[in-house]
Structure 1
Amino acid sequence: MPYLELAGFRSVTLIWTFDLLYDLISALVEHWRPETYTFHFLCGECTVTLEDVALQLRVPIDGNFVTGVSVIAEPAAFSYSLLRVSPSPNNAESKFTGLKFSWLKAKFEHLSINVTEHKVMCTARAYIMHIIGGVLMPDANNNRVHLMYLPLLADLQNVRSYSLGSAVQAMLYRELCWMTKPNAVDIGECLVLLQSWALYRMPFLASVRHQP
């Protein structure tokens, strides 16, 4: 927890996960307009703002932009440098671009009683990666996190200087725009944010859903 606090992720670990209401999410997608990045309803327009991101997720919305390279030249070596472990180079994913949640869990779920501080720091990085890929910016498959976020965690004290909330909002906007295309199938990104925002800003939706 001290390292998560140092990185500004202590509050993020308290985010509640819940079953998604896919009919609600589908209805929101149908009302999304890519040209204005807003939902168009009969009563007017609205959208998920940075204020909503900060309120719902408690992540920083000020600071440096979250950027990074989409491909890392030597992913195994880079993963080992910050996590002290890396996926086996003998498997078919020797040029992997993401870390599977199942692999992260297997490697970091348990800490020995005589664990070193360096191992604790690596475990904190792995936990934050799981939060980023599993809650804040998951893909449609929701089974791995992209390796491009790992460089942001090299210095845990510097993590809170990034506007992670802006990245979450931008990725959600992009996914909503993608879902308006005819060939779009599965939606990803922070659907927990989208659903909690809708029920918080438009509480009547909850009562309408539970009407017989």
Structure 2
Amino acid sequence: MGSNGTPLLPKRPQSLGVTIWEGDDSAFHPEIDPDEDVLSDCDEKSRAPRYEGRLLRETPLHICNSAWKLPKVPVTYHKYGSRSTVLSWYGQLCGAVRQWVVEAGFEDLALLQTRSFDMSLAQALAERWWPTTHTYHLPMGEMTITPLCYFLYTGLSFGGEAVVGHPGGWTFDDQELMRLLGSIPSESYTAVQWFYREWDEKMVTDSSSREELDQQARCFILYLLGNTLFSTSRMTIHISMVWYLKDLLRVKKFDWVGVGYAHMLRMLDSLAMRGTELVDGT
């Protein structure tokens, strides 16, 4: 209640335009106009104080600082992951193995083709991405990659049983790996290329044994995941992921796109905070 007995109305919330605020602290930043709804991009350096103490934290570590320094120094990004090699191997698979990929729901992802890599665009987007909000802060407002966008991009639906790094009950058993993959990787974090090399010289046709067809299908799916949804700079994938492929009829029941979406956001955070200069390639 006010001094005259009238109820106090809540203060108008700050604009959510380009900057997201935790609260009204304009008293601590008198240079900030609480009624300003649009921030100009004419002077990037003048925007820096607005980020301090708010949801846009750790500004000094953010790659956007490179945009405030003149002359602007471009970041040299390095690509990892290769959808073109995935597409090439998929085209070599026999019909029976391809059918397993279709049944698992990964056909659209295997056939995905991307455009050539634009390093300048990658840097511009990284400078505008903020980890605490998982949004791009653009002159016209905020934008993000929604689950719907990710579904349209990958062809995979959200929902299903959770995919975790080390599923319960998993043990690194050589005999089981030989049965499921046809070979035994030497490392728990297995190089993605290993799955391709193991089958490069083998002739697998529709008349091959059911066990051999299943083994190649599992290796291709792990190769696909390691190059796309789970791609990292090390280009490895943990062998425990084969646990989810034991029964190829149940592969589609797992939430692959959910964990892939979370992984993508994490990698975007790392780019923005200069934790890496490696980006998923084509």
**TM-score in terms of structure 2 length:** 0.58
Structure 1: 5+ residue runs without aligned partners? 88-93, 193-212
Task: Within 5 Å, give how 1:1-212 maps onto structure 2.
Answer: 1-69=98-166, 73-74=171-172, 76-87=174-185, 94=186, 96-109=187-200, 110-113=202-205, 115-142=208-235, 144-182=236-274, 184-188=275-279
Structure with greater helix percent: 1
Structure 1 range deviating more: 72-81 or 105-114: 72-81
CA distance, structure 2, for counterparts of residue 32 and residue 18 of structure 1:
21
Q: How many residues align?
A: 182
Task: Classify the secondary structure of the residue corresponding to 2:278.
Answer: coil
CA contact (8 A) 2:204 2:213 kept: no
- Between the aligned partners of 2:181 and 2:103, the Cα distance in structure 1 is 17
CA distance in 2, matches of 1:23, 1:177: 18
Taking only the aligned residue pairs, the percentage that are identical comes to 22
User: Which residue identity is paired with 1:81?
Assistant: R
1:200 — aligned with what? none
- RMSD, aligned CA: 2.4
Q: Which amino acid aligns with 2:196?
A: K
The letter for the 2-side match of 1:141 is: R
In 1: Cα distance, 2:110 partner to 2:243 partner: 20
- Unaligned segments of structure 2, at least 5 residues: 1-97
Deviations 1:178-204 (A, max 9, x none): 22335x23334x566xxxxxxxxxxxx
Alpha-carbon displacement from aligned partner over 1:98-152 (angstroms, at most 9, x marks no partner): 222332222123324552111011101111001100122210133x322232211
TM-score (norm 1): 0.76
The CA deviation string for residues 36-82 of structure 1, in whole angstroms up to 9 with x for no partner, is 11111111111111111110110121222221318965264443231
Per-residue CA deviations over 1:158-183 (Å, capped at 9, x if unaligned) read 1111121111110011112222335x
Q: 1:70 to 1:98 in 2, by over 3 A?
A: farther
Give the secondary-structure state (helix, strand or coil) at the position aligned to 1:11: helix
Task: For residue 145 of structure 1, give the secondary structure of its aligned residue in structure 2.
Answer: strand
